Amino acid sequence: MKLDDLINYNRRNSNNYNNRNYQNEYRSSSYSTNSDFRYDSNYKMRFILEKIRNNKKLKLFVITVAIVLVVIIIAIILIFLPLLVKLFNYISQNGIQGILEFITEFLNKLWQGSAT
């Protein structure tokens, strides 16, 4: 299955432009015969969204990718949450001045070559 078949599943085996499915597909989209047709800068995005809405496999793929991204973002937040809590506790105990002193000590050690 090619990518074109996934996106344009209505016209899989048809190369004839006089085909009724081809004419009906573009009659309902932005290729309208209205005299008030204007160029739409979001035409490509709306065309892609219309294809996603009409194609079940593509819709399933997009929903699956969205769910996976949400799960990954939640996992990253849960992984870094203890680190953020420790950082906030260190800031509340030592203040900004303590952080600046820690950074300058680390940079001095790094400059001297004994940062381990």
**Residue 50 within any structural domain of the chain:** no
What mean pLDDT do residues 58-85 have? 94
- Residue 25 to residues 30, 66, 85: CA-CA distances in angstroms? 10, 28, 55
Please indicate, yes or no, if residue 23 is contained in any of the structural domains.
yes
Tell me which of 81 and 11 has the higher pLDDT. 81
Identify residue 26 by its one-letter amino acid code: Y
Q: Which domain holds residue 16?
A: 1-43
Runs of H (alpha helix) within the chain:
3-7, 20-27, 43-54, 56-112
User: Is pLDDT of 43 > 90?
Assistant: no
pTM: 0.45
pLDDT-based confidence at 38, cuts 50/70/90? Answer: low
The answer, yes or no, to whether residue 55 has pLDDT greater than 90, is no
Lowest-confidence pick of 21-35, 39-53, 62-76: 21-35
Least confident of 40-44, 48-52, 112-116: 112-116
Predicted pLDDT of residue 7 = 62
Of residues 45, 64, 67, 56, the one with CA closest to residue 7: 56
Domain count, the chain: 1
- How far apart are the C-alpha atoms of 29 and 37, rounded to whole Å? 12
The answer to whether position 74 is within a domain reads no
Q: Is 1 part of a structural domain of the chain?
A: yes
Q: Does residue 113 lie within any of the structural domains?
A: no
pLDDT tops 70 at residue 73: yes
Residue 55 one-letter amino acid: N
